[in-house]
Each structure stands twice: as C-alpha cells, then as structure tokens.
Amino acid sequence: MSDVQPALGGAEFDGAGARVVEMPPKGMITLRGSPDEIGAAVADATGCAVPGQREITFEGEFALGWMSPDEFLLMCPRDEVGTCLKSLGETLAGSHHLAVDVSDARAVFSIAGPGAREVLARLCPVDLASTAFGPGEIRRSRIAQVPAAFWIDANDDIKLICFRSVARYAFDVLCGAAKGEPVGVLR
Amino acid sequence: MLILTCPYCGIHCDETELANGGEAHLKREGPGSSDDAFEAYLFDRDNPMGVHFERWRHANGCGKWFLAARDTVTMEVFGTYKAQSIEPPAEIVERIRAKRPDWEGRA
Amino acid sequence: MSIRLESGGRLIDRSKPLGFTFDTNPMQGYAGDTLASALLGSGQVLVNRSYKYHRPRGIVASGAEEPNALVGLGQGGRFEPDQRATTTELFDGLIAMSQNAWPSLGFDAMAVNGWFSSMMPAGFYYKTFLWPRSFWKHVYEPVIRDAAASGLPPKEPDADLYEHFYAFVDVLIVGGGIAGLQAALVAGRAGARVLLIEQTAHWGGRAPVDGVEIDGQPADVWIADTIAALQAMENVTLRARCMGAGLYDHGFALGYERLSDHTPGDGRPRHRLWKIRAGRIVTATGAIERPLSFAGNDVPGVMLASAVRDYVVNFGVAPGRRTVVVTNNDDAYRTALVLIDAGLEVPAIVDVRERSDGPLARECVRRGVRAETGAAVMKVKGGKQVAGVMLCRANGTGGAGALLECDCVAMSGGWSPVVHLWSHCGGKLLWSDEYAHFYPDPSRAPTGADGAPFVSTAGAASGCMASGEVLADAAEKGAAAVGAAYSGDLPQTNDIEELPMQPVWVMPTGALPELRAKMFLDFQNDVKVSDVQLAAQEGYESVELTKRYTTLGMANDQGKLSNINGLAVLSQSLGEAIPQVGTTTFRPPYQPISFGSIAGEARGGTFQPLRRTPMHDWHEAAGAYLEPVGHWKRPYCYPKPGESHAEAVAREVKATRASLGMLDASTLGKIVVKGPDAGRFLDMLYTNKMSTLKPGRCRYGLMCNENGFLMDDGVVARLDDDTFLCHTTSGGADHVHGHMEDWLQCEWWDWKVWTVNLTEQYGQIAIVGPNARKLMESLGGMDVSKEALPFMGWVEGELAGFPVRVYRISFSGELSYEIAVPAGQARALWDAVLADGAAFGITPYGTEALHVMRAEKGFIMIGDETDGTVIPQDLGLDWAISKKKDDYLGKRAQERSFMTRDDRWKLVGLETLDGSVLPDGIYAVGEGENANGQRNTIGRVTSTYHSPTLGKGIAMGLVAHGPERMGEVLKFAATDGAMIEARIVDPVFYDPDGEKQNV
C-alpha cells in the first residue's frame, strides 16, 4: 500500500489571528442507521459515548460525531479503519445500517490561536461566541461557499473538516481570514 | 434573510444554510392517474400572500428536508416540522388560526 | 471665502498638520478633519459641477447627506470615484480629484448646458431625441453620457482586502449619538449582548455642537463617561466608523465598517461587512436638516445651517466670513450664535415666521443680530460663490427686494428623522404637522419571525427634537429591547424652549416661474421645483412615478436632502396633503457601500470554490488546458509544445484507439445505496430495472425527473445483495444525491435505504484502448482476464499494491477498465499507471477526447443531447426503459400526450456532405414559415466534432421523424445565412457491433 497523501500535503499558515494547518489523514467512517439500532455497537467499537444531537464524544484516539439523526461520523486512527468496519459489520449484521470508509473523502484542518473563533466567524453564519458554541459540540455549516463541519478539540483548537476536492479553497479562505488582526469581539 | 429552525438538528439556520424546495404536502400522482390530476401534481402550486407551507433542506448542515409554515408577506414563521408529515401538525394549524383568524386553511 | 479660524475645532489636532491635494493643488488640513472641512479650511468652496447643467457646486452638508461634494479618491489600485468628502477622513497624502468638470472645475465647458436649462425639463430624456432611432445609440447616448458623467470607473484591480464578519447579538443599536449611547447603556446594564455601531469616527453625534449640557456639564463629558462605562462592559461591543447599511427580515442587519479608509495600505482590510443577527434592533440614527427652496439655493456657499455650525465647532472652519441665516425654525439661531462666538459676521437672520421671539432669537437680538421676520430669500446672487442675497416678503411673489451682501448662506427648513433603516424592513411612518416631517409609527414596526416587532427607534430618529426627550426615549427603547420598562433616573439637560417651526416649501410662497426654475430640490441630479411641478401638471400623481420621471432622489445620495421637499412640492401641486401622497420606498444600503465589501473573500482565486481531483497537480504540471465541469477543473486536453488544442485532441484520440489512453475520471459521482429496499428504490429512480442486477455486475441506467425529462445517467454496480454503487455524471453527483435523499426522506420514508455520497472518497482512473488488459496485467495483482472480469463486470482486489475496485465499463468503445482507488493513493496509482503504460505509449487524454470518442460511438451526453426537455425515448434509449415496471420517476409524465407524439425530434447521426464539421447548436430548416415569419425548424445539432478516427466531421442531432429518414439530406441554416447540407445517418459511427469493447 502506498503512502496516503493529504490533499494539500500538510499545508500550514501562520496568521496574525490564528495558525491554520492541514492535519495528517485521519481514519473516518460514515455510519448511517437509527441510533437505537446501531448506537450501542458504535459505542462499543469506539469506546465513545453515543453522542446526542450535535454532540461529539471522544475516547483516546477515537471520536464519534453526531451528523444528523441517522448519521454518525466515526474517527479513528487510520490503520484501524479496516478493523473497525469489520467489527461493526459483524455486530450490526442484523441491523439496517450503512458503514463506509470515508477517510480519503475529506481534508482536516486545525485552526489554533486566540483568534481561531474569529477566523470562522468571518466565514460561517454561525454564532461562535463561547457561550453559544463550546467543546463537545459539532457544527455542520458552510465556510464561505462550501459545506464544512467543525468542533473544538481537547487543546481548545478548532478542527474543521470539508470535502477533499475543495481543500485548497477551504485552506485559502481560512488563511485569508486568519491573516487579519482580531476583530476583538469573540474570545 | 430568514432564520428557520431545523427540526432535526435544532439549529436556528441562517437562510444561507438552507435550500428551498417549493410547496409542501404535494401528493404524488403516478401511472394510472388522470391527465388533470397529474398536471395538477406537476404544475399547480399555491402562491399565496400569507400563510404558506414550504419544503426546505438543511443543505449546508444535517442534510435533512423539513417543512415550514410561514407568512410570505410578514415573514412570520408559525413553525417548522419534519418532512415525514402528511399534514401540518395540529399545534401549528392552531397557532396559525389564532394569529390569522381569516385564514381559510390549506386549499 | 471659507477660512480656517485661529482657534477652535473640537475634533481637530492642530499639532498634526496633514498635506493633501485637490485637483493636484497642494492643500493642508489637520488630523481629525474630514476632506470637506479641510477643503473649506483651505478656502476651496467650489468642489464640483452639477450632473445635468454643470452648475458650480459647493459643500452643503457635513455628513452622509452631502449631495455635491463627491470626489475621485486615491490612485491606481486604490482609486475610487464618487467618494463623499464629508464622510472621508483626512490623512496625510490624500489625493482627491473633482468630477464632472472639463477642462477644469473653475472653467467647465459644459456649463453651457445651464443656458439651455429651460430646454431640459423633467423627463427630457423621454421627450427628446426620439427620432431618428439610430441616433440614440450613436449620437445622443454617447453625448449625454459624456455630459452627465459622474466619477470615472477604476481601471486597475482593487489593491485592498475586504472581509465579512458574522455577529450574533441580543441588541443591535445603530447610531452612536447620545440616544444610541443611552440605549446601549440601559441594554448593556441589563446584561444583554449589545453591539453599538456609529458611522463616523466620533461618538456623541451633534449634541456637543448644539451646546447640549447633560447633568450640568457639557455633553462631551457625559459622552466620554458613557463610552468608558460601555467599554467596561464585557457584553457590549462598540464600533465607530461602522455604518448601519441595511435592515432585513428576521433581525438581519448589515454593518459597514471602514477599517482603513483613513490609513490606506496599512495591511488591514479596507472594509469589513458585518452580517449581524440581532434579537432586537434600535435605530438611533438621528435627524437630517432640510434645505430651503429659494432661487439660487445651489450657489456654492449656501449650506445647511447645522453644517455651518459643525464646521465652526468641530473643525475650526468658517464656511464664510459673513453669513446670512435663513430659517423657518428656532434651531438655526444656534448657528448664528456659534458664528458670532467665533467672531464672524451675521448681517441678518431671515425668518419666514411673522413672530420670532423665543429665547434663542432673543439671545441673537441681544448679541446685535438683525432678525428679519416674515421675510424670505428671493434669490442668491453669485456664480461660483455666494455674493449676496436679495430679500423679499415670505408670502409674496418675490418682487425686487433689498440686496444683502454675504459670502455664505446658512439655511434651515426644519429637521427630518432618519427613518431609512426603520423603513428598510417595513416600518411605517406618520406625518407630524408640528415638525413637518415623517416619523416612525411605533404601532407599525417591522415584525420578525415570531410576529412581534423587532425594530424600534430612539432619540431624534423617533422624532424627538429636544435632548431631554431624546435621552428619555432612548432609555425607554434600550430597556424595551431587553424586555423591560425603564425605571431609572434620566440625565438632566439644559433644553431651551423653541417656538413652533413653520413649513415653507417654496420661498417666497408665491414665487414666479422664473424663480422656481432656479430652486433646486435635488442638487445631485439637478431637479428643480419647476420640474416636479411640471411632472404634476403632466399627470404624474404617484410619488414613485414622479421620482422616476424627474430623477428626484435617484442619485447616490438617494434624496436624503431632497425627498421631503420634493414630496411637499408635489403634494402642493396636486392639492393633496403630504401624508396622502406618501413617500418613496427606502431601500438599503443607507449610503453606497463598496463592491469589495460585498464580495468579501470571494475574489481572485477564491471567487468560487474550484474542485480539484487528487491528480490535479499532475495535470497542471503536464501543461493541461483545464476546463470547468460543474465546479471541477478538468483537463480538456494536454497540448504538447507547439500543438494546438485540436491537434492535441486528435493525437489523444488516435493514440487511445490505437494502443492505450488514460483518463482522470475521479470527478464521476459515486453514491452508495444500501438496504433491504435498495433495489426497489433504484427501480423507482432509474427507468430500467436495477433490482435484477446481479452482484458483481454493472448496468447503465437513466434517471428522469417527475416531468419525464432525462436528468442524469451512469453505470450502477451491484456490490452485494443489498448494496449498489451508482455512478453519476461529473456535474450531477450532489444533485443526484440530493434527489435520492429527497425521495427517501419526503416520499418513501418507510423504505429501508441508506445513501452516502462517496464521490470524494475515490480517485478514478480509466485505462482505455486495445492494450488496456496488457497494462492491467503488467500492473499486476488481480485477474483481469475476460473470464474473471467480463465486460460490464467489476472486481475488488489489489492492483500494483493498491486497494482498488475495477469496473469493466467503456465510454469510448474500447477495451476499458475504470479503477477506483482511495483518493489519498490515487496520485501514486496514476504515476504507477503512467510508468507501466510507457511500454504501450500510454497517452493521458482529456475531456474533449472523451467527448469525441463517445460521439464516435453514438453515446449520449447529459447536457449535450439533453437540455431539460428531452425524454429518453427521444434519444432512442427505449432499450433502457423497463416495460415491466409499474412505476418509476418520470413514467407517468412520459405517457402525457405531448410526450408520445410521433413527430417529436429524435436522435440521429449527421454527416455533412463535404466532411466538414457542423456548427454546434445549428438548426435544420423545413418548409414554410412560422407565425413570426421565421423559417420553420425541423431539428438541431446537439453534439458535433471532428472525428480523427474517421477523418471527417460527425454530429448528433434531434430531428423530427429522424430515425425514419435515414439517408435524407437536411439543410442547416448557419448564422451567416449560408445553408449547410448534412445527411441523416446512424448515430453510431464507430464499431457499431461493439466488438472492441467486449474482448
């Protein structure tokens, strides 16, 4: 198997407001099914609690994001995708579900620094005040003209995912937004 | 610039996260339907100044279709509800009747 | 002449002189100046020529309402026309150019228009130059456009950056005068998230200029204390230089922040457009003084009384040494007092009212100013600068009056609340007889998503004219915005009693036509009292029509000074009351905002998202010519040095047909559909039957919408018993996925089916040509023999060490394998294919070669053969439409009478008689003409190419009764009138038996 290449080869940018980095590829599995039917198995496979509406839960290298009432995004180390899919396939054999590897379908960015929230606030129609959006929540929206989802990780950095084909566009608009000085509204 | 609450993910969506899908509660006419019924299904649409039921998709979000009851003139939103609804929920109909006593109901 | 005073100017810093140029003349101002105050301080009274008559014009106002003082600002990539001098902060090195004058501001050749002004009445565009018609385009329009030119367009790309910012607040307060500050204080103290925005660089509005005292101290002290208190609140954000540009539904508002207009090139964005969602909005936007309509009221030196006061108090600038004040109210007396305090002369106050003995008037008399009551200005003397005024009785016809020499006229026709933002989103107005202005009707406020009002006004914007009322109103509205009633103390003010104003719309009231033709209502568009009266005479009774006919209020100041006066003249002419005539519609933005701020990040490389495949960098390095396909960028062809695109395409086609080609097919849509009802679902989605497809096999399918029209096509692979992978067109993946989810969520929600769009997960490489199998074998790792992987089959495995799924499908007619590989490894596999393919002379080909090859095979292309009006039956695709299915999307529509007519245009192949290539989209003409006298058409070309394989032009087209007319020659009408003959042939030009792909 060849080395897996992130869309932009791990691009980085240091702006006055925040640092934007394309993260190494992550293992990702899209799971569709009713939480009642598949929740327990998914929690079992990841060690993560079953996330409620708009929640993201973490356990070690694993994370489980609520994408819609019948869709989870499972994140795991890249080399565990196969194992995960296999074990899910077995435990969910009788349940109506869909589990597919989407590890290559997306780009992952980290937006770190005191201005990180304001970087996104320049691009997303989302209330990014800490009182409105905090750790443990995953938000699907758009950045500028493309769909994206983001959450706050353990280091207080923002992690953002978008489709791989628009990684360059997403990186460029994030860098543009990270260039400027803080607006001074969101902390 | 509307804000509609997605009944699936609970987000108060900015209109730019949404895609409009036209009139709600159309009944599909398939093979065997009369020409008139099929034509009406394809083309007859309400275009009221006032209470209207619409389909919206949370396109830049959870991807779910939902329905909204809205006044097309004042932009007042009487409620949003799941797409898996044959009729508007009774509570929304009641709310509309309370606020728009002249409303004649859905055609 | 205007001068800088020896002292004074609360906003300027005399220790910081700033140099600037106006029409290349070096001038000087101070930090804190606006360009307008610096021009006046430098003695520059004449700043512009008027739009239509090229009359000399000077600065009238001191803020956003300024109609005249528009300049071209900056140079090169920072040049911008039509910038208001009154809202432009001065900086060192500022370069301003006057507009609309040639050869110079002082001598304007087009001023000749003024002599003929009687020949350019209201609607003259509509009335003149009607004949001859051809003259419009070549003579009248260019001449008029040149004569009426305002600013020049910039020629270079904008050098600045712009950005957006999404803000969410409980309360947005627009306007940072004492009303806005007071409302913010109340809302902020209640703990609400408050955003307070102010369009100028300074807080406090005009209270300090008007001598307001709050709690026994000058207003400046209270303003500074309040700002400090607000800044100390975590929940309050203050933004100066940020204009409330527009109010929209559901609490949406635009704020236009000018970050670096006054510090150009400092690296910050120039403008930031705030996209604000507010629970409640309070507009504390103040009021604007109205001009008076007297003859010559546009001569440079005639200004609003409040503006004269602003220039003296704020900037230490005297617009004139000898100023006559003309008024219908007490407020203008404040201007007289300010002028006298500054040591300037006020030869007279001309007051239309018979009685004027309020406290302000008495103070003026005490200070030795002569007050002429019941008097009016008959006309202003002077050309490029006021030389004097002729006085007359206010209610007369304007007979010969006394001449009063002066160099400045300060006029006041009363004050109008700034109701623009309130009105943007549907707030209604009431008419005040007391103040002769429209003010917001609180009982008819704009309503939001919950049906409740979400906008209120505070202070002068509500129609409150005294500062005590202003502060009380603002406290009440600030509290109401957080759902409370205000119960605290109110600051005490030193309000002075004012006598009632007396509306006067034409001065003198009985002015004769000669005078009315020199009374300007709209300075920017040169609309006069006589124009509006003429419009009324000609039957324009609606204010909206009068506006468009006369162009009143249609300039870029949007009639901030002219609307009420024009409306009053119209209502008088019509003999109706002003509120009955009504106002024109207030629309955003309040003032023009830059295109850059609207675009934000959407410019240059990020103008729109471009989708890149995993092999994109390789394509670029290989010199591919890229074309857009949806949002994707795909190689059209890979021209070699010296090769034309057509030559490259021909080479790619020939090489592929002769040996081996490869295509980046990653853009193909890939949607996985799974569940016990997946087969049933796909049977509804596709016209043919998918549920009978065996695992391991592929089937080509057509997708129609409920109108019956072809929407998308592609190959479906059955992965296992309840899983299918649907390939879509490159541009169609998102749409088709949305279409699937629509039907699953909204119609068949009890069906057990899940879908996921996997388009981005895989890179896809097509290996095409007679040597394709040899290359696959060379890459190694899987059995690709005819037996193991037959045509229309697929297998999963490892190829050259890559995890792949290989589909044996063909869009070219050749032996072909499409290899799906995880996107992160796609480039590496591409490189491996290239390396191993070298032995077979592998040739990467682009979308045009793909198109040529599919056309040679007679394969249709969505978007070429289809245009949203074509059903599969038109394309001879009946074989792909199941006759056994009771239902599929589009089936019922395809049974409609129009769809089953036998004269529908149907797909055929076309060949010109001389082998040339038919023009794309060209129509075949039949006998006779239609009702419009046009030749009847009987068909059109949908795809047309030069076939390098066959060495001639080939085309597909839709022709009436086409398939029944094989061999017939049709005439196609070219745009140059020529007729091109082409023969109807079978659309499959190449390998009609499909022997090459099935080996």
Question: Would you state the pLDDT for residue C105?
Answer: 79
* Domain extents in chain A: 12-24+105-179, 27-101
User: Do you know the residue count of chain A?
Assistant: 187
3-class secondary structure per residue, C171-200 = EEEECCEHHHHHHHHHHHHCCCCEEEECCC
Backbone angles phi, psi at C965, to 5 degrees: -115, 30
B3-26+48-99 maps to which CATH number? 3.30.2270.10
Query: Is the torsion defined by CA of A44, A49, A51, A55 positive or negative?
Result: negative
For C825, residues 6+ apart whose C-beta sits below 8 A from its C-beta are A1, A2, A3, A4, A5, A104, C763, C802, C803
How many whole angstroms separate alpha carbon C551 and alpha carbon C556? Answer: 11
CB contact under 8 A, B11 and A53: no
Q: What is the pLDDT of residues C546-592, one digit of tens each?
A: 999 999 998 888 899 999 999 999 999 999 999 999 888 999 999 99
The CATH topology of domain C897-999 is Elongation Factor Tu (Ef-tu); domain 3 (2.40.30)
The CATH topology of domain C616-667+761-853 is Gyrase A; domain 2 (3.30.1360)
Which position has the higher pLDDT, B38 or C153?
B38
Query: How far does Cα C379 stand from its chain's mean position?
Result: 43
Superfamily of domain C669-759 in CATH is Aminomethyltransferase beta-barrel domains (3.30.70.1400)
Chain B contact for C868, CB < 8 A? no
Residues of C in contact with B17 (CB under 8 A): none
C147 torsion bin: left (phi>0), alpha (psi -120 to 50), beta (else): alpha
Query: Is the torsion defined by CA of C800, C805, C811, C814 positive or negative?
Result: positive
The stretch C674-691 carries a mean pLDDT of 97
Question: Would you state the pLDDT for residue A89?
Answer: 94
The dihedral over CA atoms of A121, A122, A124, A130, expressed in degrees to the nearest 10, equals: 0
* Angle of helix C529-537 versus helix C563-574 axis, rounded to 10: 40
Question: Would you state the pLDDT for residue C402?
Answer: 84
pLDDT above 70 for C221: yes
pLDDT above 70 for C132: no
User: What is the count of residue pairs from B and C with beta carbons less than 8 Å apart?
Assistant: 69
The closest of A76, A85, A105 to C826, measured between CA atoms, is: A105
pLDDT level of residue C399 (50, 70, 90 thresholds): confident
CB contact under 8 A, A173 and C601: yes
Q: What is the DSSP letter of C591?
A: S
How many whole angstroms separate alpha carbon C583 and alpha carbon C553? Answer: 11
Question: Would you state the pLDDT for residue A155?
Answer: 83
The stretch C172-176 carries a mean pLDDT of 98
Surface of C (729-758) touching A: CB under 8 A: 752, 754-756, 758
CB contact under 8 A, B9 and A68: yes
How many whole angstroms separate alpha carbon C40 and alpha carbon C320? Answer: 9
How many whole angstroms separate alpha carbon C68 and alpha carbon C844? Answer: 62
Taking CA atoms, C643 is separated from C618, C652, C656, C657, C949, in Å, by 19, 12, 18, 20, 18
Question: Would you state the pLDDT for residue C816?
Answer: 97
pLDDT above 70 for C114: no
Cβ(C990)–Cβ(C814) below 8 Å: no
> What class has domain C162-287+417-481?
alpha beta
Chain B contact for A141, CB < 8 A? yes
The closest of C354, C305, C312, C343 to C327, measured between CA atoms, is: C305
CB contact under 8 A, B75 and C742: no
Q: Compute the nearest-CA separation of C716 from chain B (Å).
A: 24
How many whole angstroms separate alpha carbon C410 and alpha carbon C339? Answer: 11
State the average pLDDT for chain C: 94
Q: Compute the nearest-CA separation of B95 from chain C (Å).
A: 11
* Angle of helix C543-550 versus helix C529-537 axis, rounded to 10: 120
Query: How far does Cα C598 stand from its chain's mean position?
Result: 6
Q: What is the pLDDT of residues C736-760, one digit of tens each?
A: 999 999 999 999 999 999 999 999 9
User: What is the count of residue pairs from A and B with beta carbons less than 8 Å apart?
Assistant: 34
Per-residue pLDDT tens digits of chain A, which is 187 residues long = 457 889 999 999 999 989 999 999 899 999 999 999 999 999 999 999 999 999 999 999 999 999 999 999 999 999 999 999 999 999 999 899 999 999 999 999 999 999 999 999 999 999 999 999 999 999 999 999 999 999 999 888 999 999 999 999 999 999 999 998 889 888 6
Partner residue opposite B17 with nearest CB, options A53, A71, A125: A125
A12-24+105-179 maps to which CATH number? 3.30.1360.120
Distance in angstroms between the alpha carbons of the first and the last residue of chain A: 44
Q: Which of A165-169, B80-84, C676-680, C932-936 has the lowest mean pLDDT?
A: C932-936
The stretch C261-290 carries a mean pLDDT of 97
Same topology, domains C3-110 and C669-759? Answer is no
For C154, residues 6+ apart whose C-beta sits below 8 A from its C-beta are C77, C79, C80, C81
Q: Across A43-187, where does the E strand assignment appear?
A: 56-59, 62-68, 71-76, 98-101, 106-112, 138-143, 146-152, 158-163
Q: What is the pLDDT of residues C363-373, one digit of tens each?
A: 999 999 999 99
How many whole angstroms separate alpha carbon C668 and alpha carbon C701? Answer: 14
Return the H-helix or E-strand segment holding C97: strand C94-98
Return the H-helix or E-strand segment holding A167: helix A167-179
Residue whose pair of structure tokens reads 């569709």 in the numeric block? A32
pTM of the model: 0.95
Question: Would you state the pLDDT for residue C118?
Answer: 63
C3-110 maps to which CATH number? 3.10.20.440
- Domain C291-413 matching CATH 3.50.50.60: the answer reads yes
User: What is C699-766 written as a DSSP string?
Assistant: EEEEEE-TTS-EEEEEEEEEEETTEEEEEE-TTTHHHHHHHHHHHHHHT-TTS--EEEE-GGGEEEEE
Q: Which of C138-142, C341-345, C918-922 has the lowest mean pLDDT?
A: C138-142
User: Within a 10 A sphere around the Cβ of C316, how many other Cβ atoms?
Assistant: 24
Tokens of C248: 């929209």
Q: What is the DSSP letter of C10?
A: T
User: Within a 10 A sphere around the Cβ of C583, how many other Cβ atoms?
Assistant: 20
Backbone angles phi, psi at A42, to 5 degrees: -70, -40
Question: Would you state the pLDDT for residue C142?
Answer: 64
A27-101 maps to which CATH number? 3.30.70.1520
Given the DSSP bridges, would you call strands C217-218 and C213-214 parallel, antiparallel or unpaired? Answer: antiparallel
Cβ(C724)–Cβ(C753) below 8 Å: no
Question: Would you state the pLDDT for residue C138?
Answer: 66
Backbone angles phi, psi at C681, to 5 degrees: -65, -45
Q: What is the greatest pairwise CA distance in chain A?
A: 54
How many whole angstroms separate alpha carbon A144 and alpha carbon A120? Answer: 9
The stretch C390-419 carries a mean pLDDT of 93
How many whole angstroms separate alpha carbon C150 and alpha carbon A183? Answer: 35
Query: Is the torsion defined by CA of C582, C584, C589, C593 positive or negative?
Result: negative
CB contact under 8 A, B57 and C742: yes
Cβ(C846)–Cβ(C625) below 8 Å: yes
pLDDT above 70 for C929: yes
How many whole angstroms separate alpha carbon C101 and alpha carbon A136? Answer: 63
Question: Would you state the pLDDT for residue C50?
Answer: 85
The stretch C76-89 carries a mean pLDDT of 96
How many whole angstroms separate alpha carbon C13 and alpha carbon C368? Answer: 32
pLDDT above 50 for C955: yes
* Angle of helix A35-46 versus helix A81-91 axis, rounded to 10: 140
Question: Would you state the pLDDT for residue A1?
Answer: 45
pLDDT above 60 for C129: no
CB contact under 8 A, A166 and C609: yes
pLDDT level of residue C167 (50, 70, 90 thresholds): very high
pLDDT above 90 for C851: yes
User: What is C276-291 written as a DSSP string?
Assistant: EEEEEEEE---EEEPP
How many whole angstroms separate alpha carbon C978 and alpha carbon C971? Answer: 10
pLDDT level of residue C107 (50, 70, 90 thresholds): confident
Closest residue in B to C890 (Cα–Cα)? B30
Tokens of B88: 């508007």
Which chains pack against B, by 3+ Cβ pairs within 8 A?
Answer: A, C
pLDDT above 90 for C102: no
Residues of A in contact with C827 (CB under 8 A): 5
pLDDT above 60 for C139: yes
Q: Using only the alpha carbons of chain A, give its radius of gyration.
A: 17
Taking CA atoms, A11 is separated from A157, A179, C807, in Å, by 17, 15, 34
Residues of B in contact with A35 (CB under 8 A): none
Strand partners, C56: C49
Partner residue opposite B77 with nearest CB, options C449, C892, C897: C449
Residue whose pair of structure tokens reads 């081996």 in the numeric block? C660
pLDDT above 90 for B76: yes
